[in-house]
Structure 1
Amino acid sequence: MRISTFLLVLILLTSCSEKDKHPYTFYYWKTKLALDQEEKKALDKATAPYLYTRFFDINKVNGRFQPVAVITENKSFDTDKQIVPTVFITNQTFLNISKEEIQFLAENIHHLIEKKIKEYHLNAGQEIQIDCDWTAGTRDDYFSFLKQLKKISHKGVSCTLRLHQVKDKALMGIPPVEKVYLMCYSTSSPLENSDKNSILDVNILKSYLSKLEDYPIKKIEVALPIYSWGIVTNHLGKHKLINALSQNDLKNPNFKKVSDHEIEILKDGFYFGNYLNKGFMIKVEEITNDQLRDVITFLDKKIPEFTIIYYQLDAKFVINQNFKLISKFQGDF
């Protein structure tokens, strides 16, 4: 009887452990640090103790490195989460860069991060995340930069990892970090004429990550999309994006439904802050819970333990979402 009870308890503990193996949190990708009621509510419920916060972007303009859209803070910003400073760097920043410039770039990024942490009294830990879509031509200099930043900051440096960088790892190289964040979105360009969801096409993702279990870096966290947008196509076939559109936004007497996700504009006018002409098409791309569960189930067979970071923390995307339920989902693939 005691053995049976012990086995039952062991099974229950194992089951709970399995369900909780995907803690989750968010990326914060706005220029001003401020949380409204819905955003704070969603963040407070998040089961991981971090908030991955974009501090600024880096680009190279006329041969000079420039920080772009550096964060400012609203005094209402308050969270118990530990801030992980995240910096986006354009790939062109590393084109034709010298060793001295790599050193200069690492030093100045570190100093600006530290300045913002102190200025806004942020609870930042011992990690800096770098987001860069590096290529085969820039990989060596980018990897050298990551090493320099770690040496200068005395912190752990992690980086993002895109799908093509996994699939073509022999060409793209393996970054010199102990932890990467796999970006499970942007599976195609929204500016192409396609019937696929450019934010996340699960079949494309699976093909790119078919050998993910062989990736040399074993500590892999997962970034999943929760954002949406509308793709506007004009008479010439040119496209533009309108952020945060959903299917509900397409309910308008001046719109003609073409498919479940696409409408044609019947009357010139201002729509979603843009002047759009009759005949323009709008295609909405958004993410369903089924898509997210499908990705999680697939990844469970590749990298059994990972934290989920949803992109991004915004009231438009977090209202009425049960992220805890999605993140705990377990099932057969």
Structure 2
Amino acid sequence: ACEPATPSVVTPAVYHWQARLQLQPEERSYLAAAGIEKLYLRFFDVDFDEERQEVVPLSILEVADSLAGIREVVPTVFITNRTFQALDETGVDTLGARMLRLLTKLERQLPEQIEVREWQLDCDWTATTRPAFFHLLERLRAFLAERGDRLSATIRLHQLAYPQQTGVPPVDRGMLMCYNTGDLQEPETENSILELGAVAPYLGQADQYPLPLDLVLPAFSWGVLFREGRMIRLIHPLSPAHLSDTSRFLALQPPWYQVRKSTYLEGYYLYRDDRLRLEAVEVDTLQAAARLLHRRLRPEDRTIALYHLDTTLVNRYPHGLLPQIARLFEEP
């Protein structure tokens, strides 16, 4: 006889990406109300410094919080692609050793009650940088295996869809990033963060992917600044409230605004006639993305996270959203 399908266990979580960890009261109450006790905590970035001609850690995390209510932290490191273009195999080994030292040092600064069972590396590797990045993953995974812990890596949608071409990272789990689906630099793009129509084509073989997959969904907003048709920079966080001064900003056809007179915005100087595309993901779009992914991914125990914890998340997304998505994925 057929066994009844067992429900999956889904753990809600959130990413914290700022360089200083000090939770605001409203962030703390949001986490408590949403039942979130797991935090993916960016410890530092790794990049190649052109001036010094060496690979360096950047924005190293400063922990200034007791993390009351949080049980588990996943230390996370973002690594740029050009880091690996600058390194040979010996250089990758040296980088691995330096990262281990810094990760374990920062880990020791976490409050007593925090459990660490996994580290995560975030890198949008290419065919060129794959050998070096995968070698680094193997080094870190061997270290973690000795202490009984796991290593995970972020997986972009194109890496999910084409594992034969992109390679499958040598890690214990993947974290599927369901965002940055559109072309940021293209003025015709309406929302580069998440367009459902752009996600579906990548999910045809999603249930065949060789790693167990956790999932992270976008709960952030930003402004994309264009000058004379060219994308200049991202400004984030950015919300309609930042652009409500009608003497400086003219609301055009959504999602566009025009700068009426040269001005500063969040520390950046904008010129008259610059245009801003204000991008955010609506709650119903997130729910629809979750339903689509639920249909296409294998049922398994997984973490589902939101990226990332800040005032935008707290003010824009109800605390019931993540528990609701988790319940959907728990259904057999």
SS in 2 for 1:309: strand
1:197 and 1:243 mapped to 2: Cα distance? Answer: 15
Q: CA offset at residue 108 of structure 1?
A: 1.5
Letter in structure 2 aligned against 1:300: H
SS for the counterpart of 1:239 is strand
Q: Which residue of 2 aligns with 1:52?
A: 40
Is this contact kept in 2: 1:23–1:47, CA < 8 A?
Answer: no
Tell me how many residue pairs correspond in the alignment: 315
List aligned pairs for 1:16-55, cutoff 5 A: 21-55=9-43
Q: Whole-Å Cα distance in 2 between the matches of residues 308 and 120 of structure 1?
A: 23
* Deviation per residue, 1:152-194 (Å, 9 max, x gap): 2433111110111112211111111121100111113322222
CA distance, structure 2, for counterparts of residue 69 and residue 278 of structure 1: 33
Aligned to 1:71: 61
Question: Matched residue of 1:190: which SS?
Answer: coil
Report deviation, 1:24. Answer: 1.7
Q: Is the 8 A contact 1:27 1:310 kept in 2?
A: yes
Runs of 4 or more above 6 Å deviation: none
Q: Residue 181 of structure 2 aligns to a residue in which SS?
A: coil
Identity across aligned pairs (percent)? 30
Structure 1, residues 42-62: CA drift from partner, whole Å, max 9, x if none?
222343531000000112335
Deviations 1:9-63 (A, max 9, x none): xx9xx9xx86x85432100101011100111112223435310000001123355
Deviation at 1:253, TM superposition (A): 2.0
2:151 counterpart SS class: strand
Deviation, structure 1 residue 327: 4.3
- Equivalent residues of 1:85, 1:124 under 8 A apart: no
Name 1:241's counterpart in structure 2.
234
Q: Distance in 2 between matches of 1:216 and 1:286?
A: 32
1:205 aligned onto 2:199: yes
- Residues of 2 paired with 1:58 and 1:252: CA distance? 38
Indicate conservation of the 8 Å contact 1:267/1:277, yes or no: yes
Q: Distance in 2 between matches of 1:197 and 1:220?
A: 25
Cα deviation, 1:182-209, whole Å, max 9, x if unaligned, reads 0111113322222331111111111122
Offset at residue 89 of structure 1 (A): 1.1
Structure 1 counterpart of 2:74: 84
Counterpart-to-counterpart distance in 1, 2:68 and 2:90: 39
1:110 equivalent to 2:100? Answer yes
Match of 1:284 among 278, 282, 290: 278
Partner of 1:146, secondary structure, is helix
Give 1:246 deviation, angstroms.
1.9
Greater C-alpha Rg: 1
Say which SS state the counterpart of residue 108 (structure 2) adopts: helix
* TM-score between the two structures when normalised by the length of structure 2: 0.86
Q: CA RMSD in A?
A: 2.4
Write the distance in 2 (CA, Å) between the matches of 1:144 and 1:231.
35
- In structure 1, the gaps of 5 or more residues are 1-10
* Separation in structure 1 between the aligned mates of residue 186 and residue 57 of structure 2, nearest angstrom: 30
Contact 2:14 2:307 in 1 (8 A): yes
Partners of 2:179 and 2:218 within 8 A in 1:
yes
Query: Structure 2: which amino acid aligns with 1:148?
Result: R
The yes-or-no answer on 1:314 pairing with 2:302 is no
Question: 3-state SS of the aligned residue for 1:119?
Answer: coil
Letter in 1 for 2:213: I
In the alignment, the residues of structure 2 paired with residue 278 and residue 95 of structure 1 have an alpha-carbon distance, to the nearest angstrom, of 39
**Does residue 130 of the first structure (1) align with residue 124 of the second (2)?**
no
Give how far 1:77 is off: 5.0
Q: Which runs of 5+ in 2 are unaligned?
A: none
Task: Give 1:184-263 correspondences, 5 Å limit.
Answer: 184-217=178-211, 219-235=212-228, 237-254=230-247, 255-263=249-257
Please, which moves more after superposition, 129-138 or 312-321? Answer: 312-321
SS in 1 for 2:158: helix
In the superposition, the TM-score normalised over structure 1's length comes to: 0.86
Contact 2:48 2:86 in 1 (8 A): no
